[in-house]
Amino acid sequence: MNVDYQEGNVKTLEFPENIRTRPGMYIGKLGDGSSPDDGIYILVKEVLDNSIDEYMMGNGKRIDIAIENNCISVRDYGRGIPLGSVLDVASKLHTGAKFDTKAFKKSVGLNGVGIKAVNALSSEFSVRSFRDGRTKSAVFKKGRLTEDLPETATDQPNGTLTVFIPDDTLFVGYCFVPEFIEKLLKNYTFLNAGLTLVFNGESYRSDNGLLDLLDNNMSAPGLYPPIHLKGDDIEIAICHGRQYGEEYYSFANGQYTPQGGTHQQAFREAYVKTIREFYRKDYDASDIRASIISAINIKIEEPMFESQTKIKLGSKEMSPGGDLTVTKFVGDFVKRELDNYLHRHSDVAEIILQKIIEAEKERKELVGIRKLSKERAKKVSLLNKKLRDCRIHYTDKHADAERSTLFITEGDSASGSITKSRNVNLQAVFSLRGKPLNTFGMTKRVVYENEEFNLLQAALNIEEDMDDLRYNKVVIATDADVDGMHIRLLLITFFLQFFPDLIRKGHLHILQTPLFRVRTKKETRYCYSNEEKEKTLAKMGASTEITRFKGLGEISPNEFTAFIGDNIRLDPVLLNKNDLVQELLTFYMGKNTPDRQHFIIDNLRVEEDIVEELA
């Protein structure tokens, strides 16, 4: 097929069209706010990064953040943007002081893009600089200048105020999840001891750096007091718990890198090498790192990240053109400081050794079970009978890889409806057979011996490493009734027990499906609660037909398209420091006790619509 290709086909996009046309190049996915890596949080982070860089350069000890009606304001007390550059900094790509390492050394933002992307992708955006008794501001709409206000006198302290509203024509149906903002702010404080962040009136501050980060993320006490190692341009905290898997929090120049990178890989390798040399035994790497929880932050000049969203560090050298690599810098530090620590703290060294021996014993016990489980998976034809797979996966190098989703459904009717209405490129379906086993208090061998869990683990591809997870979003899709809620809790218990990283890293969600269909001859609306139903009835008036859905199987494939498409409603499953996981699981999923019986009786309630139906 010949396509006409002339001078008229060649286009040059200027600001803001270049960003609005290809937003993914600048902020990753757009999203609706249901995931911590959705675009609206990247916008917040881009503004905050500038304020954090001011603090790192020794300017301003407080940053005020507020979100109200999706309007975000960030006020720092740094040096303030030079007044003559306010307009350029907000609207000219690749413009900023961070190209000058004298003004900003070991900064996060180096490309002069971030704040411009926020401007272009906001329905309203304003920036105001306060500097030496003078102030200057500019106002934009969707990246286009609407007001260029003159300089005036001010009695306000130096700093910058940025206010913006994400464009809802791009971020369709978005809303902020406060917990995601809080986690972002806490990470900033852990990496910048002495900095105070005030979010909607609540203050966040850390005096112990990465030690506070580990304490905030550990839902149970560690096996020993965390190891805290600090040096020039590097800080590391290490501990072990009783959870399965490995847990890392890595940062570069204060930037959280959830996908790791060269610094995290260097630490993992250096830790294994140091432990082997200290104990003078060639332990398996997986046994050495079993149940580890660790955090690392390094500071390098002109860091290179693998995307504008800065979620993975790609730098190989500590400075451009330098001889010192990240691997050697981290490796030498860990070898020297961790080895010294273990020699000085023999009690901690003994606990770590016993943990390695336990992990080695369990791994060897599971070898035979794994072989049987792999044979069982082949016999039941995993891909053909349990999993309706999609074409694009989280591990693929594809622009849509982060949109890959696995729906875990209950029964054939529900899985059939979702399968027929799904996006076959990005959405997969795994069908459960009956209620899953309550795994509370069990060892990991149940994952291999129980057919449902064995197949689910294989479908997710997380047996060996969470890095191989095949779907970015794992969505529990069960009926909106008591049985559906029970299955949901059993699955969450399973993931908490054996794959807590799936929850910690924001992969696990709950699908919200409508309880009611309200329609007239001209219009159909779906309602997710009694309150929403009543409001809809008030708007639609008389002659309405109301259908109460009792299960996913009652929703037709055509209707499901609306619920799992662009307007999908997902509730993220969050895990916070204050969630006492073992206590919660013991109470709700452990042996039946009088306390739990009394709790159930005291909290029984009957939905109003059920009472109406029975009447």
Q: What is the CB-side half-sphere exposure of residue 323 using CA atoms within 13 A?
A: 0
The per-residue pLDDT for range 8-27, each reduced to its tens digit, is 655 566 778 888 888 888 88
Q: Is the pTM of this model over 0.85?
A: no
The per-residue pLDDT for range 190-200, each reduced to its tens digit, is 988 889 999 99
The per-residue pLDDT for range 88-143, each reduced to its tens digit, is 899 887 555 544 444 445 555 444 468 999 999 999 999 999 999 999 999 999 99
What local confidence, expressed as pLDDT, does residue 134 receive? 96
Q: Do 281 and 219 meet the contact criterion of CB atoms below 8 Å apart?
A: no
Q: What is the CB-side half-sphere exposure of residue 253 using CA atoms within 13 A?
A: 28
Domain-by-domain residue ranges, the chain?
A: 17-205, 210-363, 380-513+551-614, 516-548
- 368-406 burial: b if 16+ Cβ within 10 Å, else e: ebeeebeebbeeeebeeebbbbbebbbeeeeeebbbbbb
Is the pLDDT at 453 greater than 50, yes or no? Answer: yes
Residue 613 has a CB neighbour count (10 Å cut-off) of 9
Q: Do 253 and 263 meet the contact criterion of CB atoms below 8 Å apart?
A: no
- How far, in Å, are 45, 75, 94, 271, 319 from residue 112 at the CA level? 14, 20, 4, 36, 19
**Mean pLDDT value across residues 562-573:** 80
Fold exhibited by the domain 17-205: Heat Shock Protein 90 (3.30.565)
Fold exhibited by the domain 380-513+551-614: Rossmann fold (3.40.50)
Helix, strand and coil in the chain, % to nearest 5: 40, 20, 40
Q: Assign domain 210-363 one CATH number from 3.30.1490.20, 1.10.10.10, 3.30.230.10, 3.40.190.10.
A: 3.30.230.10
Backbone region of residue 544 per phi and psi (left: phi > 0; alpha: psi in -120 to 50; beta: other values): beta
Helix axes 581-589, 482-498, angle to 10 degrees: 140
460 class by beta-carbon count within 10 Å (0-12 exposed, 13-18 middle, 19+ buried): buried
Is the pLDDT at 379 greater than 80, yes or no? Answer: no
Domains 17-205 and 380-513+551-614 share a fold: no
What local confidence, expressed as pLDDT, does residue 199 receive? 96
In sequence order, the 6+-apart residues with CB closer than 8 A to the CB of 284 are 360, 363
The per-residue pLDDT for range 240-298, each reduced to its tens digit, is 998 888 889 999 988 888 888 999 999 999 999 999 999 999 999 999 999 999 999 99
Instruction: Point out the least confidently predicted range of 80-84, 142-146, 234-238, 435-439.
Output: 435-439
